[in-house]
Amino acid sequence: MMETEVDRELLEKIADMLGKPVGAFNIRKDCGCDGRQSTEHIKIDNRTDGKSGIDIRILDGTVGETCHIPVIITKPGVQETVYNDFYIGENCNVEIVAGCGIHNCGEQDSRHDGVHTFRIGKNSHVHYSEKHYGEGDGKGGKIMNPQTIVYLEEGASIQMDTVQIRGVDSTKRYTKIVCGKGAEAVVTERLLTHGEQVAESDMVIELNGEDAKGRVISRSVAQDTSSQVFRPCVVGNAKCFGHVQCDSIIMGSAKISSVPEIAANDTEAQLIHEAAIGKIAGEQLLKLETLGLTEEEAEDCILKGFLA
Amino acid sequence: MLELKHVCYAVQEGDAQLGILNDISLTISDHKLVVFTGPNGGGKTTLAKIVMGLVQPTSGQILWNGQDITGLSITERARLGISYGFQQPPRFKGLTVRRLLTIASGNDKLSKDQCCQYLTKVGLCANDYLDREVDASLSGGEVKRIEIATILARNSQLMIFDEPEAGIDLWSFARLTETFEQIHAAGSATMIIISHQERIISLADEVIVVGDGAIRHRGSAQEILPQILSDTLGGCPVLSKGGAAQ
């Protein structure tokens, strides 16, 4: 595993990795494998169907272990679609850290489309986090189109945290989570776009089993002339509870479209949605200025808190 | 020392100029507790905001410790030791009570114990509040008390409180007046408190009655309180006739 300064910086930004991670990991760099480690309970192997990507199998009863699978692209013009499948046994409690960092100093676009499919066994809990980050002063675009498909068996749960703060020129995200009996999905999405960036996020949470729960908390900031579109949808097909909350701060000449949807196909489904778009309130800036911050510092403080 | 010299503030209403503050001059000595009181819409809050820089006067001068601060920004005035507790403080999604107190104190390493001291003085328990966001999940009274705690954390030379009692329950109000008394007794700050509360007015070294954009009366609490009470009763036709309300 040869690491350059760029590699180190990208890995730290997207996966908080400083040096070799503890536990299982697979580092993908410029379409190749730059390091891999399986553990006794977490096995990582190449796919066998000819597609690019890996299979991750986590044995029943695996508790307190982590699996890092970051992707970094350091060359311009790299375009790839990668399929990673997670098979998580029963009664597990694990943390999976994914993420993609693109450093593009060239003229050609770099694009990573990561398709992640999770099959989470009975009573297992997964904390899945995914950070996206782009850098480099070339004209080539930094493009990421992640797809995450999750199947939760009875009593299983996932906490999915996605973060994209600056640097990604174009993103189209698709998330689908199917909840069985007593399963729970909590998705938090944090997004900041600037310049001419565009971001779209489509999400569907199907609450199919009795007492399934789904919660979406989306917070975004659009600056300059960037644009964002959110379409989170929660479908209640049983006695269940679903809540969608989208909050956005709009700045400059940005555009935001927020279209939360709830759909009930069962009289016992309890679904709520809330959506708000607004600029930073003048009183908020004034209050922080009375505490000694400049207007710029106050704005930065409000945005950091909002996206924390 | 705070000095206001011939301060006027007017707004444009159609073709006419509407005077909100008309030629106000006053001096407040160091470590004094001064209460601004008077009828709603009389100009108390505008006067206090002019000191903080939240409102720019149409004419006149503001001097703080001899320095002309009329043209300074809010941030510059804050850094010179002036703080302001809003009557209706804003809420912040994502900003925790601890973060707000840390910003207010200007000390990035503000300890939990220090936060606890500020919150206790406004009747809040740090364990329950430090990690909570200052958002819509807090009641109006809670946000108001956190607002006052930020002013205490700022520990500035001039503290301005705009109706600190508004929205606060009786028990917390008693704790709050004790805190004002302590600051005053310690002689660590000059305080301007906008209030209608007899209990707060009675703490004042000087009471300034602001009405119709001008200073109507000024004097000690003992002198001013009876006047306020008689003005209040005189303003009610039912009470002045001595009859019961129908």
CB contact under 8 A, A305 and B99: yes
Query: What confidence tens digit (pLDDT) does each residue in B92-151 have?
Result: 998 999 999 999 999 999 999 999 999 998 888 888 999 999 998 999 889 999 999 999
Chain B partners within 8 Å of A286 (Cβ): 54, 74, 90
Q: Which of A245, A288, A290 would you mutate first to test chain B, the one with the most B CBs within 10 A? A: A290
Asked if residue A305 is part of any domain, the answer here is no
SS3 string, A91-103, reads CCEEEEEEEEEEE
Q: Which residue has the tokens 């007899």?
A: B198
**Residues 6 or more apart from A119 whose CB is under 8 A from it?**
A85, A86, A87, A88, A151, A153
How does strand A184-193 pair with strand A147-152? unpaired
Closest CA to A115 of A71, A167, A62: A71
Element containing residue B11 per DSSP (H, E): strand B2-13
Same domain, A137 and A25: yes
Which stretch of A95-104, B64-73, B179-188, B224-233 has the lowest confidence by average pLDDT?
Answer: B224-233
Asked if residue A293 is part of any domain, the answer here is no
Query: What confidence tens digit (pLDDT) does each residue in A253-264 have?
Result: 999 999 999 999
Chain B partners within 8 Å of A294 (Cβ): 75
Asked whether the beta carbons of A234 and A262 are under 8 A apart, the reply is: yes
Same domain, A17 and A137: yes
Provide the pLDDT for residue B245.
Answer: 42
Greater model confidence, A2 or B102: B102
In this structure, the dihedral spanned by the alpha carbons of residues B161, B166, B168 and B170, taken in order and rounded to 10 degrees, is: 100
Domain extent, residue A242, equals: 169-279
Greater model confidence, A227 or A19: A227
b/e for A35-64, b at 16 or more Cβ within 10 A?
bbbbbebbebeeeeeeeebbbbbbbeebee
- Judge whether A2 is closer than 8 Å to chain B, CB to CB: no
CB contact under 8 A, A308 and B94: yes
CB contact under 8 A, B93 and A286: no
Asked whether the beta carbons of B133 and B156 are under 8 A apart, the reply is: no
Asked if residue A289 is part of any domain, the answer here is no
Does residue B70 sit in helix, strand or coil?
A: coil
Closest CA to B9 of B67, B56, B74: B56
CB contact under 8 A, A291 and B78: yes
Provide the pLDDT for residue B236.
Answer: 55
Q: Strand ranges (DSSP E) for A30-169?
A: 32-37, 42-46, 54-58, 63-68, 71-73, 79-88, 93-103, 110-120, 125-135, 142-144, 147-152, 157-165
Q: At what angle do helices B112-121 and B170-186 cross, to 10 degrees?
A: 110
Question: B79 phi and psi, to 5 degrees?
Answer: -75, -15
Q: Would you list which residues of chain B are within 8 Å, Cβ to Cβ, of chain A?
A: 52, 54, 73-75, 78-79, 83-84, 86, 89-90, 92-96, 99-100, 103-104, 106, 150, 154
Asked if residue A79 is part of any domain, the answer here is yes
Same domain, A94 and A189: no
Asked if residue A95 is part of any domain, the answer here is yes
CA B59-B63-B66 angle, 5° bins: 145
Q: Distance between CA B80 and CA B65 in Å, rounded? A: 10
CB contact under 8 A, A293 and B103: yes
Same domain, A152 and A88: yes
Asked if residue A226 is part of any domain, the answer here is yes
Provide the pLDDT for residue A16.
Answer: 75
Same domain, A23 and A68: yes
Query: What confidence tens digit (pLDDT) does each residue in A224-268 have?
Result: 999 999 999 999 999 999 999 999 999 999 999 999 999 999 999
CB contact under 8 A, A301 and B103: yes
Asked if residue A295 is part of any domain, the answer here is no
Q: Which of B52, B91, B95, B162 would you mutate first to test chain A, the one with the most A CBs within 10 A? A: B95
Look at chain A and report how many structural domains it folds into: 2
Same domain, A126 and A268: no
Query: What confidence tens digit (pLDDT) does each residue in B58-85 have?
Result: 999 999 999 999 999 999 999 999 999 9
Asked whether the beta carbons of A236 and A266 are under 8 A apart, the reply is: yes
pTM listed for this prediction? 0.85
Same domain, A58 and A105: yes
State the nearest Cα–Cα gap between A163 and chain B, in angstroms.
15
Q: Where are the domains of chain B?
A: 87-155
Asked whether residue A61 carries a pLDDT value surpassing 70, the answer given is yes
- Judge whether A283 is closer than 8 Å to chain B, CB to CB: yes
From A163, A191, A222, give the residue that closes a domain.
A163
Question: Shortest CB distance from A287 goes to which of B89, B99, B106?
Answer: B89
Same domain, A205 and A65: no
A residues 212..251 contacting B (CB < 8 A)? 219, 247
Same domain, A220 and A146: no
Asked whether residue B240 carries a pLDDT value surpassing 60, the answer given is no
State the nearest Cα–Cα gap between B158 and chain A, in angstroms.
12
Same domain, A218 and A247: yes
Q: Which residue has the tokens 């705070």?
A: B2
State the nearest Cα–Cα gap between B104 and chain A, in angstroms.
5
Same domain, A156 and A204: no
From A135, A163, A191, give the residue that closes a domain.
A163
Among chain B residues, the shortest Cα distance to A285 is held by B90
Same domain, A159 and A175: no
Provide the pLDDT for residue B147.
Answer: 94
User: ipTM value of the model?
Assistant: 0.92
